[in-house]
Amino acid sequence: VRALVVGSGAREHALAWGLREGGHEVLVVPGNDGVAAHGIACTSEDPEALACDLAVIGPEAPLVAGLADRLRARGRLVVGPGADGARLEASKSFMKEFLVAAGVPTARHGTFGDPGSAREFLSSLRAPYVVKTDGLAAGKGVLVTEDLAAATADVEEKLSGRAFGEAGTTVVIEEGLVGEECSLLVLTDGVRAVPLAPAQDFKRVGDGGTGPNTGGMGVYAPMPLVPGLVEEVMASVISPTLVELARRGIEYRGVLYAGLMLTPSGPQLLEYNVRFGDPETEALVLLYREGLAELLEGCARGELGTAPVARGAAVTVVLAAHGYPEAPRAGDVISGLGVDGQLAEPVEGVVIFHAGTRRRPDGAFETAGGRVLAVSAHAATIAEARERAYRGAEAITFSGKVQRGDIAREVEGAM
């Protein structure tokens, strides 16, 4: 099978690697220099012009723009919803309206286009306050704060259109939920649904959850949860979502990524993403290896199979560029990588997935984006995977490297 992976980050590198492990011939569009160095073909051609048996679309933007619809119209098998399903991620106000209609547990909220009624709603809530831009904002459109004045100022800033343009002219305000966050990625063909191992993403840039929100600084999976919790989420969140999608005539084949808050009164859905998570995917592919390919094919065909068995544990540590997330610097030379973009001195179980790197004329890699590399490690236990991931991360150096030191630290003993 010839598989196409659309996107240019570490997530797409990981998906391509997993498909290759499953015996597929893989082409990544456009990919990056690190993917190509790993022996995976990349092209900058138009994905619609390329022949393939299976296409997996990584990022949300092409899904929202209807790429899955256009590929399906050409007879391709695709993992990823059409533009109608992708609205679950494209518009937070749509998503919230959908969740309420479906009866999915989610934070109380209101949607506002004018500052006056937004202020009024805010003052009816208790801290923490949550203010979200309606449209896509690359993970940067959400403020969570204990401070009512800061929340009010943020509403005004967002509604002014200065911060996020059109994407910000509507805001969603929510009550803040408290608990542990969990990413549950579920593959669905619209009828059946299969959960992958629960993962925990570390969203803030600094240790202990300090500093600004990022795209994700690291992740581990499986997340140790109370027994039965995944089944509970499948019943209270995923099943009603599938019913509501069908009721609205939305055919959905792809990933439903449930961003959950595990509150004392049960799991609540913070948001849906309509794609694989980044960096969740970089850890998950190591748990399933070749098993993932078959699952993706079944999903795209509408004949989703059963979940492959997750083996062991995986920990991913993201290495980001100097100045991330506000103003990442490009052009810092990376040392510790070989010509294939993997560790020059291999660490057992470690795979390096490239996000923002490029090759210099002398063959060395340099930084070329906010998140630069995802160092992923697989082992029998979280503790061992963590030790391997950090050994790999320390072996890679570049000026201004930003990395968290506490990925999976608190769960080391759990498994």
Which positions lie near ligand AMP, rule CB under 6 A?
A: 107, 130, 132, 142, 144, 174, 176-177, 181, 203, 259, 270-271
| Cα separation, 220 vs 38, whole angstroms | 23
Interacting span for ligand GLY (CB under 6 A) from 273-281, 324-332, 372-380, 392-400: 273-281
Phi-psi map region of 39: left, alpha, beta (phi>0 left; psi -120 to 50 alpha) = left
Q: Which does 277 bind (CB under 5 to 8 A by kind): ligand AMP, ligand GLY, none?
A: ligand GLY
State the minimum distance, in angstroms, from the CB of residue 204 to ligand GLY.
12
Pick the closer one to ligand AMP by CB: 29 or 63: 63
Subset of residues 277 to 316 that bind ligand GLY, contact rule: CB under 6 A = 277-278, 280
Interacting span for ligand GLY (CB under 6 A) from 27-35, 93-101, 272-280, 347-355: 272-280
Q: Which does 211 bind (CB under 5 to 8 A by kind): ligand AMP, ligand GLY, none?
A: none
Pick the closer one to ligand AMP by CB: 93 or 357: 93
Residue whose C-alpha is closest to residue 201's, from 177, 178, 185: 185
State the minimum distance, in angstroms, from the CB of residue 219 to ligand AMP.
12
Site mask for ligand GLY (CB under 6 A), range 112-151, x = bound? ---------------------------x------------
Give the three-state DSSP class for 166.
helix
State the minimum distance, in angstroms, from the CB of residue 181 to ligand AMP.
6
Q: Which does 278 bind (CB under 5 to 8 A by kind): ligand GLY, ligand AMP, none?
A: ligand GLY
The b/e string for 197-228 (b: 16+ C-beta within 10 A; e otherwise) is bbbbbbbbbeeeeeeebbbbbbbbbbbebeee
Q: What DSSP string runs through 257-274? A: EEEEEEETTEEEEEEEES
**Tokens standing for residue 407:** 């990925």
Interacting span for ligand GLY (CB under 6 A) from 45-53, 149-157, 275-283, 375-383: 275-283
Contact 277, 258 (CB under 8 A): no
Q: What DSSP string runs through 92-126? A: HHHHHHHHHHHT--B--EEEESSHHHHHHHHHTSP
Residue 76: CA count within 13 A, CB half-sphere:
27
Whether the bond between 30 and the residue before it is cis, its omega within 30 degrees of 0, is: yes
Give the three-state DSSP class for 182.
strand
Pick the closer one to ligand AMP by CB: 240 or 259: 259
Residue 201 touching ligand GLY (CB under 6 A): yes
Residue 332 touching ligand GLY (CB under 6 A): no
Pick the closer one to ligand GLY by CB: 59 or 267: 59
Pick the closer one to ligand GLY by CB: 9 or 110: 9
Handedness of CA 294, 299, 300, 302 (dihedral sign): positive
State the minimum distance, in angstroms, from the CB of residue 148 to ligand AMP.
15
State the minimum distance, in angstroms, from the CB of residue 126 to ligand GLY.
27
State the minimum distance, in angstroms, from the CB of residue 203 to ligand GLY.
7
Q: Which does 83 bind (CB under 5 to 8 A by kind): ligand AMP, ligand GLY, none?
A: none
Residues whose CB is less than 8 angstroms from the CB of residue 388 and which lie 6 or more positions away in sequence, other chains included:
315, 347, 348, 349, 350, 377, 378, 379
Interacting span for ligand GLY (CB under 6 A) from 41-49, 276-284, 292-300, 315-323: 276-284
The b/e string for 103-142 (b: 16+ C-beta within 10 A; e otherwise) is ebbbbebbbbeebeebbebbeebeebbbbbbbbbbeeebb
Cα distances from 353 to residues 11, 214, 235, in angstroms, run 8, 18, 34
Residues whose CB is less than 8 angstroms from the CB of residue 346 and which lie 6 or more positions away in sequence, other chains included:
none
Contact 284, 376 (CB under 8 A): no
Q: Which does 28 bind (CB under 5 to 8 A by kind): ligand AMP, ligand GLY, none?
A: none
Which residue in the set 58, 216, 308, 392 belongs to the binding site for ligand GLY (CB under 6 A)?
216
Residue whose C-alpha is closest to residue 275's, from 294, 291, 254: 254
Q: Which does 107 bind (CB under 5 to 8 A by kind): ligand AMP, ligand GLY, none?
A: ligand AMP
Residue 254 touching ligand GLY (CB under 6 A): no
Binding site for ligand GLY (CB under 6 A): 139, 201, 216, 273, 277-278, 280
